[in-house]
Amino acid sequence: MLTSASELVAIIRGWFETVNDKRWDDLPKYMHSTYNENGKDYTPESWAAHVRDHVGPELGGNIRMNEDSIMADENAQCAAFSIWFKFKPEKPFLGYQLMRREVLLVGHGFVWFTDGKLSKSLFVMNNDDMRRQLANLSTEYVPSLISEYPVPNMEARLSREELEEAYRAYVDTVNFRRLTKTEYAKYFHQPETTLNNKALARRIVEDTLAAIPDLHVDIHTMIIDEEKQRLAVWLEFTGTPARDYAGLAANGRAVRFTEHATYQFVNGKIQRIWGVMDLDEARQQQKYAK
C-alpha cells in the first residue's frame, strides 16, 4: 500500500524535528532497515550516530533545520525538499580556517520511501555560496528561498503531463544545442528568467556549454506540483571541460556532476528557478584522477 503524499510530507517534517530536538534515539524509527544517502549505505542506527557524532559537530553542534519547501509524489514514493539553517563552524570548513563567522546553509534534496520509511536520499548544499560567505566577512548573503516566493497568479495552467513534456523539451534544446533566442522564448518568460535572485539563467547555461562543449544533461528524477505549477528535478551532467571553468580544469578528463533545481511555471513558461549545482563533485573527480 502506498503512503499518501500528505503522509510523506509529515514523515519528512517529523524527521527534521527529531534532528532539531536532538532526539537521536528516535531518529531510527523514520529510517528503513537499509538507508542510502548520496551513495553511502547506513543502518538506521549508524545514520543517527553519523548525524550526532559527525554532521552536528561539523556544523557548530546546534543544527536547527528550517523547512523551505517540500513536494511529494505518492506514485513514486518520493519527495523533493529544500531546507536552510545558520551555523558557526567549530572547525575548518570548506577549506577555510575557523573564523567564528555565522554561515547560512541552503540544502536541496530528494528522498525515497519504502514502506513509509526513508530508504534513500540525494542531497546537495550551496558550497560555493558558503565559500563566498567565508571569504568575505563583510558581505551579507541573501538566500533565494522558495517559500518567500508566492505562487503567481496565472491565466493558463498546464497539466502534470504537459509540465513534464515542456521541461523535457527544454532539456532537449540544451542537449541538441538548439538554445537560440527564438527557441529559448518558447520555454522561458522574457527578457530573462531569474535564477536564485539573479537574472542569469540563460547566461549560466550558455557559459557552461561554452566551457564544456559536449555537456549532456540527464533527468534522474522529477516531481511535479500541478496546483502550484512547480517542477523539481535532480539532473545529472556529463562532459569534458574544454577550458577552465568554476574550478574545473581543461585537462581532457570527463566529469560528472549533479544539480537540484525547482522551476516555477507561469502560463506555460518557466518564470523562476531555484537551483544548487554540485560542482565539488566534479572537482573531486579531477583531483583524485591526478
- Reported as a single tens digit per residue, the pLDDT across 188-198 is 886 565 666 55
Sheet holding 269-278, edge to edge: 194-195, 269-278, 255-266, 230-239, 216-225
Binned at pLDDT 50, 70 and 90, residue 21 comes out as very high
* 37 pLDDT higher than 60: yes
pTM: 0.91
> Across residues 88-110, what is the average pLDDT?
77
Mean pLDDT, the chain, integer = 89
Binned at pLDDT 50, 70 and 90, residue 289 comes out as low
What is the chain's length? Answer: 290
